[in-house]
Chains A and B, each alone.
Chain A
Amino acid sequence: MADVEAPAAAVEEKELLAPPELDLRRAVRLGLSNAAAMVLVAATGIVGTFQGRLIIDPFLPLGLLFLYLVAWAFGWLAAKPPPTLEGFAPAVPGPRNLAAGALTGAIGGAGTALLLVLMTTFNLRGIFIELSPGLADTLSFGLSVAAAVSAIVAVATAVGLAGAGVYFLPPRWRRALMPGLMWVLIFALFTDMIGQFFGGIGLEFVTDLLFTSRGGPLTVVGAVTVFVAFSALYWYRGGRKTTLRQRFDLLPAERRTRWTVGLAVAVMVILWFMPRIMGPFVSQVLDNAGIFLLMALGLNIVLGYAGLLDLGYVAFFAVGAYTAAILTSPLSPAFSPELTLIAALPFVMIAAAIAGVIVATPVLRMRGDYLAIVTLGFGEIARILLNSAWLAPYFGGAQGITNIPDLQIGPLTFRSPQDYFIPIFLFVVVAAYITLAVQKSRWGRAWMAMREDESVAEAMGINIVTAKLSAFVVGAVLASFGGALFGSQIGSVFPHSFDIVVSITVLVIIIVGGMGSVPGVTVGALALIALPNLLREFSEYQFLFYGVLLIAMMLVRPEGFIPSKRRAQELHTEELAQDDWLAIYGQAGSGEQVAEGTA
């Protein structure tokens, strides 16, 4: 709270008030949520499916770990000391916090135990298919039901206590040990990739040390090593007074630019060599991420700069893919000139521009949310038409267009995922350049003015029609490049690949990554495309976690991973210390608590 430094100095002589007591009723409420969460985790089959995965060989399966991790998280939440308000002493964690954590954990455990009892007494498997004898076995730790009930509550309480206990660690220890544990989990989940990485750079022995086998779980030695190594790293980092970001901001402008450029080059070099080191699968994933990134940069212009909520962005992606497919594939139904992809690109751009105009024109006068649903409609229309029997003589219908040839530039043929990474990377760099260049240009400023307030922008002399049309066209062209590369890389296009989920994914990428910021969008694409692909074994629950992640991100960090400065400011201006007051004392009806505080 830097802005209250001065007054705080003045009140230092005054005695600080005692902080409010931790609300145990809140702990009970959180306990009920905890119970609900744990029951859902068990009943949706997450425990059962994850149980097959060992974190540490041989005793730590992921299923039960995940279940009790939920309890731990709730315990941690319940025991959180209230924020320090102006004029109050900071709250010191005490037995009440432990009680809160334990209480939350216990209630969660009780809920789980109840589920176990219900599951074993009645046969609910007809309705809730995951409540199998196998799950009962797992939940009860192999004990009898009666014994298991006590065991579950006991373990959950202990875990909740542990969650509360985190606050008793000195801050530096906390900031070292928690990430250390997190990294153990990360190493265990990504064993495949990490093994590949060390193998790729020639350090096979590390993989042998850490894991039982290639792609297998961590060994005890491995887990301890990772934990100690990362904890030490964070410990060292915790000792510094300022964060990296703060020190960066304090540098003079010229040095900052140099560091930024250097960082960008370094990132690009790493991304460059990644495919060679990491093998075909990771390259494929990076290819997919790259294509989505290309689209995200396009939508970034349409939505981030011009403020047009386009929910049918996939239509342009499809136009690019199908135009390229028709022009290059020998199996294109109506008309197959069999151009090379490079030769086809100008036509792809023209087709995309036309599509952009077709979509933009009817919506020129429409307001924000109407625009959203209409563009969504256009996206669906595109997919249905591509799939239709009516237009099948041109687009191949449900059978799509296959045998799209590989990209060829002169004597070079790009075939494998590693090869394709190069052109995709280049296109992304060009798109990023365009994005950054446009931002400072007249066009960019016109778009941003339009985004802020259309009427005022028009009054200032900006031609809204041209602005909207140009935004759509530029966005369409970028998306169409993505589509052309997509079709070429996979070798075939089917209408199924161009549904509304793609539009939504691109939208989520730019919001979660950080709208308007190129590094943010890059991180967003990597996080939202690469990550689920790398965790493919949990794909049954992929969308579940995806949804939870979205909700969590929006609640905690709506400006995205790496936001543009302005956006972060916009989204957090409302936050004042005031909000903390409201959070603790609520609205009407908490008179007693206020009185206590002033005693």
Chain B
Amino acid sequence: MKTRKGLLALIATLALIVAACGDGGGEGDGDGGDEPGVGALGAIEVAEGEPIKIASLQAISGDASSLGTDQVRAIELAITDKAEIAGHPIELAFNEDDLCSSEGGQTGATRIVADTDVVAVIGTSCSGAGVPASEVISGANRVLISGSNTSPYLTSDLAGNEGPSHHDGYFRTAHNDGIQGAAAAKFVFEELELTQIATINDGDPYTEGLTSAMAAAFENLGGEVVVNTAVTADQTDMRPVLTEVAAAGAELIYFPIFQPAGDFIAEQAQEVSGLEDTVLMGADGLLSDTYVVLPQTKGMYFSGPNTPTTGEYDAFVAAYEEAYGEPPIQSFHAHAYDATMMLFTAIENIAQESDGTLVIDLQALRDELHDITYEGLTGSLKCDEFGDCASVEGIDIFQNTEDTADIVAVRSSPIITYTPEELGIGG
């Protein structure tokens, strides 16, 4: 019909006109730069009596929800513990869902930065969500600190090359896959003296990245990866996979995945013939109370972040149980707690008082995060130039023995610790 075609043409013209006139003005512009004492990214001003606003962007719904919920709880505990910065209370202004997907991360991040008072975001849960979130949040001059992203893409390959999805406002307290993979490989090759291993991931960018890193490091050391395969996160029958692993003659299985898939592998490895002597090893995804209490996980090794042996972690777990009715349900809660507290420390250090108003210079915040060393539940944290802040003490290897009754006991008695230098990784 003529009307329709005419309408179409009209709209198309309108579109091009508006596109030409308007510009990409959705990203926050720093509202500073001319004022003395304020960096190029501008500053956030918190009036007297007003709270300092932060946000959380974690996987709250869907099958990754235990991962995100665990971290949100840790963030809330951190806020309760810190209570205030320079006389201002702290408010969790947004508890956004990253849906463990790229569009969820993007939408959530966009929502948060639309509020120009939010200083920083703790998130995301999943590396896939982190890729767009990092771009959006850094582009809006704010800071994003993750407690569970591990993909090298988001920071660097640890050899000085910037990752393709790196942005300046991004930090994380979880270990880069490169470090953890190298540590696990070194342990297996040198301490356990095994030369043939199998790796199993669950198709998620985090676990797949970690197994790749571990496999690469292991082969570098001279070992052989006889099977590199995958299961799906909701898979329950692991026996076919394990039969293949047995047939290939693997001496150890490295499966840095999550529950419940990890439960099934540990359980069924005992049932599949040929795997009686095979050693099992997981990573921080399985370092949770609900996993180590399972009888089938006794004797397993884990790679995970260095945990200081002070009573802080115990106290944290106790507080968590008190508030939420159950022990921590996943294993990145301590990372998230540290991320939040590290942020608070940095804010406290650089915030300036001006006539009762607190001025938080955003560039200074980023610089401070690169400068400080923060002592946290997961160790001594120092951020490198690309945002990797995980414990400089490196990675611990733990074992879940018959004597260790719960997660606290497991984490407080590491077998060995590897620092980045020992692993030959430039920091």
Contacts and interface: CB of A to CB of B under 8 A. Distances in A.
B128 A284 contact: no
B95 to A, nearest CB: 6
B24 A416 contact: yes
A543 B95 contact: no
Contacts of B204: 398, 496
B315 interface: no
Interface in A258-288: 261, 264-265, 268, 272, 276, 279-281, 283-285, 288
Contacts of A412: 16, 19-20
Given A490-B102, A494-B101, A497-B103, A284 B209 contact: no
A578 to B, nearest CB: 43
A394 to B, nearest CB: 16
Contacts of A539: 60-61, 96-97
Interface in A411-449: 412-419, 422, 425-426, 429-430, 433, 436-437
Given A280-B114, A397-B208, A492-B132, A265 B7 contact: yes
28 contacts: A129-B325, A129-B326, A130-B325, A196-B114, A261-B3, A268-B11, A284-B107, A284-B111, A331-B164, A384-B232, A398-B208, A399-B208, A400-B128, A412-B16, A416-B25, A416-B26, A418-B26, A419-B23, A422-B19, A429-B11, A437-B4, A490-B103, A490-B106, A492-B102, A492-B132, A496-B100, A496-B101, A536-B97
A536 B55 CA distance: 13
A398 B131 CA distance: 13
Contacts of B128: 400, 492, 494, 496-497
Contact of B205 (A125, A400, A486): A400
Given A491-B135, A492-B102, A398 B205 contact: yes
B247 to A, nearest CB: 18
Given A129-B324, A400-B128, A418-B26, A389 B19 contact: no
B228 interface: yes
B159 interface: no
Contact of A497 (B11, B102, B201): B102
Contact of B11 (A399, A426, A496): A426
Interface string B130-144: 011001000000000
A426 B101 CA distance: 26
B255 to A, nearest CB: 15
A85 to B, nearest CB: 46
Given A129-B324, A400-B128, A539-B61, A415 B102 contact: no
B14 interface: yes
A284 to B, nearest CB: 4
A104 interface: no
A212 interface: no
B45 to A, nearest CB: 15
A150 interface: no
Given A264-B7, A280-B114, A398-B205, 11 more contacts: A129-B325, A268-B11, A279-B114, A388-B230, A402-B131, A403-B164, A416-B25, A426-B15, A489-B106, A496-B126, A539-B61
Nearest to B163: A402
B103 A486 contact: yes
A533 B103 CA distance: 11
Nearest to A430: B8
9 smallest A-B Cβ distances: which pairs? A416-B26, A415-B24, A280-B26, A398-B208, A539-B97, A281-B114, A284-B110, A281-B111, A494-B128
Interface in B83-99: 93-97
Contacts, number: 156
A33 interface: no
Contact of A389 (B95, B108, B131, B230): B230
Nearest to A534: B111
A276 B22 CA distance: 9
Nearest to B64: A496
B421 to A, nearest CB: 28
Given A281-B111, A389-B230, A418-B22, A402 B61 contact: no
Nearest to A425: B15
Contacts of A491: 131-132, 135
Interface string B100-127: 1111001110110111000000000010
Contact of B164 (A129, A268, A402): A402
A181 to B, nearest CB: 27
A302 to B, nearest CB: 23
A402 B128 CA distance: 10
A470 B208 CA distance: 39
Nearest to B11: A429
A279 to B, nearest CB: 5
A126 B290 CA distance: 13
A419 B135 CA distance: 16
A288 B135 CA distance: 18
A413 B177 CA distance: 35
A138 interface: no
B27 interface: yes
Contact of B108 (A276, A496, A536): A536
How many of chain B's residues touch chain A, expressed as a range? 35 or more
Nearest to B95: A537
Contact of A490 (B22, B132, B153, B230): B132
Given A402-B131, A403-B165, A494-B205, A413 B24 contact: yes
The secondary structure that dominates the A interface is helix
B12 interface: yes
Interface of A: 125-126, 129-130, 132, 196, 215, 261, 264-265, 268, 272, 276, 279-281, 283-285, 288, 331, 384, 387-389, 397-400, 402-403, 409, 412-419, 422, 425-426, 429-430, 433, 436-437, 486, 489-497, 533, 536-537, 539-540, 542-543
B215 to A, nearest CB: 11
Contacts of A125: 325
Select the residue from A264, A284, A387, A403 with max chain B CB neighbours within 10 A.
Answer: A284
Select the residue from A388, A422, A489 with max chain B CB neighbours within 10 A.
Answer: A422
A496 B19 CA distance: 32
Nearest to A273: B18
Given A486-B103, A492-B102, A494-B128, A399 B110 contact: no
Interface in B48-106: 60-61, 93-97, 100-103, 106
Contacts of B132: 490-492
Select the residue from A129, A409, A437, A496 with max chain B CB neighbours within 10 A.
Answer: A496
B16 to A, nearest CB: 8
Select the residue from A265, A285, A388, A399 with max chain B CB neighbours within 10 A.
Answer: A399
Contacts of B95: 537
Contacts of B25: 416, 418
Interface in B1-53: 3-4, 7-8, 11-12, 14-16, 18-20, 22-27
A414 B131 CA distance: 19
A87 B165 CA distance: 74
A492 B129 CA distance: 10
Given A261-B7, A389-B229, A399-B153, A280 B107 contact: no
Contacts of B22: 276, 418-419
A265 B4 CA distance: 11
Contacts of B27: 280, 415-416
B61 A542 contact: yes
B268 interface: no
B151 interface: yes
B151 A399 contact: yes
A433 B9 CA distance: 12
Contacts of B97: 536, 539-540, 542
Contacts of B103: 288, 486, 490, 497
Select the residue from B12, B110, B204 with max chain A CB neighbours within 10 A.
Answer: B110
A280 B96 CA distance: 16
Nearest to B140: A280
A392 to B, nearest CB: 9
B325 A398 contact: no
Given A215-B115, A389-B228, A496-B128, A280 B164 contact: no
